[in-house]
Chain A
Amino acid sequence: MTDEAIKTHPELSETFNQDEARVDWHDETLWWIRQKRDKSAHSIPEWEMLRETASQIKNNVLSDLGKYLVSFEEKALANGIIVHWAADAAEHNRIVHDILQKNGIGQMVKSKSMLTEECHLNEYLEQHGIDVIDSDLGERIVQLAKEPPSHIVLPCIHKKKEEIGELFYRHLGVPEGTSDPQILTEAARQHLRETFLTRKAALTGVNFAIAETGEFVVCTNEGNADMGAHLADVHIASMGMEKIIPERKHLGVFLRLLTRSATGQPITTYSSHFKKPRPGQEMHIIIVDNGRTIQMGRADFRASLKCIRCGACMNTCPVYRRSGGHSYHNAISGPIGAILAPNLDMKKYADLPFASTLCGSCSNVCPVKIDIHQQLYKWRQVIVKEGYADTSKKIGMQLMTFTLSSPVIYRTAGKAGRWFLKHVPFAVNNKFNPWYKHRDMPEAPEESFGEWYKRNVKQK
């Protein structure tokens, strides 16, 4: 994993592309989900109005986040929930550990939470001797494989059912060679049932936190958040501070958009409201910043905090589909990950905003209308200005600028270039030219358009 961490998106996706059949399978699988999303969206005539409404609600939230957070905390406290604030990942992880220690708990069940992936909570707790079991089926699979999720909604989308069968054979005792999804799911159910019954603490994520009431909503398809939280003595909910929505009625907008965008389902199977602890239960909420206020301060990038983590931008992204989530070397992959990650570490994630053709499909599917591809373009400018572009690229760009800033130099260079291509093709048709690896160079014409025009059109 340490070796992988320093590799860039182009390197990691080149490795991913060594198995072309697998790339085709990955692409088709995610494209199928994009098509399910389209079908579902097209069944709602007011879809674009819903997106616009969601976008405006989130704009409103970001413009007054402090007020909404204070209101949420006040209501949550009144409901009997214990509220914690974490400035960063380390503080979040410490808070979770403290809660567990105070209650003498050494084992925890956790439903899906991309925030805990972002904070690397599992590794932290393991180092402190706490046993964590992920209860989301996809997350459990990647946990058994000792891998991070490759997709925020579909954590193990990069794995084929045969590979999952192999993992379950090794870890859960299913017969060797099992690949029937029904049998595999049943094996996971039996295994997780025991976990749910014996864990004293459950951690869930938060999809929406309602400022008006102090309650929070957790959306799952498997009911695993509920199984964990309802059976445990201690329920910890980790939420990014941008998860706020002002009022309960706004859920009517977001719940309609979330799963249609994510998988094409009309709604998640479970959209569970948690308002107060049941008698004898402890309920904690940890509100996490971890770079979000810095992103709030970046005018060009603050809209990225509107994200409701549906993953639609990943499913539609032609680059994501052909590079796999792990190539983004960040907890959140795909286009949204590429605009969030540089905020956390510009140097480490300098490659991600360049992992896009700026085709713009991501911005079109985004249910809260984040201008993702425009932010990718803007991050490129920031990354270059902050000095994170590599030197060869810098020299190339300066040379190109020099050429294109003067008509005379441009015409001379163009002519020279065409002459070279025609007469010395091996100068460009070689392994040092990345274009040539899978593509032929264009044929060099005898004359440029400018030369033709000069010869054929009478000058006015």
Chain B
Amino acid sequence: MKVGLFIPCYVDQFYPNAGIATYQLLVKLGVDVTYPSGQTCCGQPMANSGFEHLTKDCNQLFVDNFAEFDYIVSPSGSCVLHIKDHLHTDKDEQKALVVRTKVYELVEFLVDILKVENLQSSFPHKVGLHQSCHGQRGLFLTQMTELVAPYFSKPQQLLSQVKGLELIELSRTDECCGFGGTFCVVEEAVSSKMGKDRVKDHLDHGAEYITGADMSCLMHMEGILKRENSKVKVLHIAEILNAE
């Protein structure tokens, strides 16, 4: 099984530790994983702003870098969902369609493909789990509170294997943090209010760390935590699953 590691642009530039943890975790689990160095971005920032027509070159780059792998794994639900829903190329659409079926967010890859049941990690802290919308409602990582359907949660399934980790309850288990890509600057007032409210829910319930499967939401909440001089930190779920 050859796995291509897709590290989204902002994770590459600002949160390399999330990428490193993802890489190390996959290696630890015996996966043959490679990071193709020609990758940049999934094109979502443009597409979600209405400029999907400008993402052609980004898309081609993605296909060129990843078409050869059996699986493509990434520590970001949002970028994965974008590839799954919107990857097109004029040059080789068939290839793009195949890439769409091979791309996995890290948590779903660990649970659904590797069927990880016994993680050797330890993180003795109180942790709040943020359900990022695209991972949850787009990739079905966790059952959604709106639906009348049996509960499950893939990130929770993994976090429950981590020694010493105490998952805190939240008042609103799957409310958006307000990041939303360019929404966070275009709709600054509502976006930051949403972020403040989400952070408050975690703080009210005694979180020491906030984690999730999408670094972008965590980046947003980190921005708020830092502004409030909070000691609470954000960590990508890969960093917790990789902690020893």
Contact = CB atoms under 8 A, between A and B. Distances in A.
Given A48-B147, A442-B222, A360 B137 contact: yes
A153 B148 CA distance: 23
The binding surface of chain A is classed by DSSP as helix
A23 B43 CA distance: 34
Interface string B193-235: 1111100000000000000000000011011101100000000
A63 B43 CA distance: 35
A407 interface: yes
A250 B16 CA distance: 55
Contact of B46 (A13, A400, A445): A400
A318 interface: yes
A323 interface: yes
Contact of B178 (A23, A41, A357): A357
A278 B40 CA distance: 71
B46 A450 contact: no
A439 B220 contact: yes
Interface stretch (A156-164, A293-301, A375-383): A375-383
Given A17-B190, A322-B193, A407 B40 contact: yes
Nearest to B14: A442
Contacts of A9: 187
Nearest to A27: B197
A410 interface: yes
A460 B34 contact: yes
The binding surface of chain B is classed by DSSP as helix
B213 to A, nearest CB: 15
Report which residue of A9, A358, A382, A403 has the largest number of chain B beta carbons within 10 angstroms of its beta carbon. Answer: A358
Contact of A440 (B12, B61, B223): B223
A432 to B, nearest CB: 11
A38 B48 contact: no
Contact of A358 (B11, B133, B149, B219): B133
Nearest to B195: A439
A14 B192 CA distance: 11
B242 interface: no
Contacts of A358: 48, 133-134, 180
Contacts of A274: none
A322 B180 contact: no
Given A356-B180, A359-B176, A442 B15 contact: yes
A435 interface: yes
B50 A380 contact: yes
A188 interface: no
29 contacts: A10-B188, A27-B197, A38-B145, A42-B148, A47-B148, A318-B178, A322-B190, A353-B50, A356-B183, A357-B181, A358-B180, A359-B133, A364-B137, A380-B50, A389-B49, A389-B50, A393-B182, A398-B54, A407-B39, A407-B61, A414-B9, A438-B195, A439-B195, A439-B223, A443-B14, A445-B15, A449-B35, A450-B7, A452-B19
Given A318-B194, A451-B16, A454-B37, 8 more contacts: A10-B190, A42-B148, A359-B180, A377-B47, A401-B55, A407-B39, A450-B7, A452-B19
Interface of B: 7, 9, 11-17, 19-20, 23, 34-35, 37-41, 43, 45-55, 57-58, 61, 133-134, 137-138, 144-149, 172, 174-176, 178-197, 219-220, 222-224, 226-227
